[in-house]
Structure 1
């Protein structure tokens, strides 16, 4: 089969799969789960297609999605096609997983913000009224003041929640694309093992600046842009340091040969919130005083 004809057949096949997934995500109870899978065909196409090809394929998918499922689903179709196409193109250009996942998270953030904006200004949905209704669902065991503070915190850190959600979703898509790509002989670049992850030490400076600013100027910044910005920065860096702490723990388990305890360790650290806080502190110390280097030197010396 000529190369051009083969490409056209692959395009048609992947578009058909994506349209079936879009239909299932729109009209069936599997919608929430199936929507995770829509970017996958576009990733698998984009790893060996040009940017103009993926633009036309994405536009064709959006148009067909409009015909089959309507305008709202067509917007979601464009969003998922763009998401998968960008990740696939970066896989092919950078030959690395993390830049593609970061780009996918960026597309997710832009899509989520656009959706919230269209819902707020296009359909006139009042999110404050929704949060007030949520505040009425307070569990009896939780004091009202503490619950109200939690609702207020969630309202402030929505941008960070969207960013973290984008990274998690993109990471899941990456894992699925790697599994499928291996079977289709379209290898997707692999992420490094978590035990080898390490973030820049410069993040510590941003963290301490945010903490000191919140402690010293909390009252004067209340309700301002700076409070929102600093709170989002702090929550995001807390998540980064938690990953750094997890990386250190897995590195230590690998160094000492505790392979059987590793899954138990991971589950325990994320199920119990106090342990997650300790994990964040471990991550800060790991970056600050290079714990893993000291541990590795000590183990090698015996």
Structure 2
């Protein structure tokens, strides 16, 4: 009876996966939305059954994906299949939501890095390099046009644009990490409520106001900042790429700390919930405000503002 139940549910989840995969591949208008649910069949199945059954289900899904969407659909299917199985298996083991998020993000990140490297090896095309060169060519054409119109850009502005291109190109590894974190967060946001509807026990995150980064983040940030004065990161060097990526991720952690503190402060003051949400949106839209949020995160980590506020009568 148990095997029949597993088989029946596997067939239904397989059918759902094929429909979602075909929509993601062949219907451009809703492909992104469909992609958010591609992990759902694997989440549901692996949250209810053993890892052995889940892996078998995943292998069959890849085989069906190759038939339904061609060989080109297999890498896409594998990304969502493996991520969903890892996350669902952790739900099956009743692990906490943060562990599921981290494991899912690492799995998704590994997959997109493998896809990126495989694309370079098979086609000889580095997407990041090609995009960087395309932006540079477009910028150069715009400069040439402005010179023809008698309104050339100042040399300082040209230099800043060129440094910006180099910065974003060097930032490629961190952008991969950020993309993986965002993708898995969205997977959990849209799919976990469905798991609850299906009577699957899903763990909860701590409220955002309770999130706290390790204090070591602040020390890493300060050490890296001091190192940048001792050994100045020169554009194009390995140290520059390392510095840019480490600093970006550390600053991202400090921004999360700053926003979390603001939600904590708003909760203590009994402000309407919309107030910290508006600040979060404004911080993303207006970069100078984001710097202030990062500074708030540094102060909170360094001086433990939350504990001080809680100790006040």
TM over 0.5: yes
Instruction: Report the counterpart of residue 181 of structure 2 in structure 1.
Output: 167
Provide structure 1 residue ranges, at least 5 long, that are not aligned to the other structure: none
* Counterpart contact for 2:79–2:112, Cα < 8 Å: no
Provide structure 2 residue ranges, at least 5 long, that are not aligned to the other structure: 144-152
CA offset digits 1:98-130 (Å, max 9, x no partner) = 111111111121111111112212111144343
CA offset digits 1:148-198 (Å, max 9, x no partner) = 211111111111111111111111111122210121111211111110100
The offset of 1:131, in angstroms, is 1.1
The offset of 1:199, in angstroms, is 1.0
CA distance in 2 between partners of 1:202 and 1:129 (Å): 37
Partner secondary structure for residue 185 of structure 1: coil
Instruction: Report the counterpart of residue 242 of structure 2 in structure 1.
Output: 229
CA distance in 2 between partners of 1:265 and 1:47 (Å): 36
CA offset digits 1:74-115 (Å, max 9, x no partner) = 111112100000011122225211111111111121111111
CA distance in 1 between partners of 2:228 and 2:72 (Å): 41
Partner secondary structure for residue 93 of structure 2: helix
Q: Which of 217, 225, 229 matches 1:211?
A: 225
Q: Which of 276, 289, 301 matches 1:275?
A: 289
CA distance in 2 between partners of 1:115 and 1:186 (Å): 32
Instruction: Report the counterpart of residue 196 of structure 1 in structure 2.
Output: 210
Instruction: Report the counterpart of residue 5 of structure 1 in structure 2.
Output: 4
1:24 and 2:38 are equivalent in the alignment: no
The offset of 1:135, in angstroms, is 2.1
Partner secondary structure for residue 43 of structure 2: helix
Of stretches 142-151 and 7-16 in structure 1, the one that deviates more from structure 2 is: 142-151
1:262 and 2:263 are equivalent in the alignment: no
CA distance in 2 between partners of 1:115 and 1:181 (Å): 29
The offset of 1:136, in angstroms, is 3.4
CA distance in 2 between partners of 1:181 and 1:147 (Å): 47
**TM-score, scaled relative to structure 1:** 0.92
CA distance in 2 between partners of 1:129 and 1:151 (Å): 12
CA distance in 2 between partners of 1:97 and 1:147 (Å): 41
CA distance in 1 between partners of 2:126 and 2:12 (Å): 42
CA distance in 2 between partners of 1:271 and 1:126 (Å): 30
CA distance in 2 between partners of 1:94 and 1:204 (Å): 32
* Counterpart contact for 1:178–1:189, Cα < 8 Å: no
CA distance in 1 between partners of 2:130 and 2:25 (Å): 27
* Counterpart contact for 1:178–1:187, Cα < 8 Å: no
1:133 and 2:134 are equivalent in the alignment: yes
Instruction: Report the counterpart of residue 288 of structure 1 in structure 2.
Output: 302
User: Structure 1 residues 197 and 85 mapped into 2: Cα distance closer, same or farther (>3 Å)?
Assistant: same
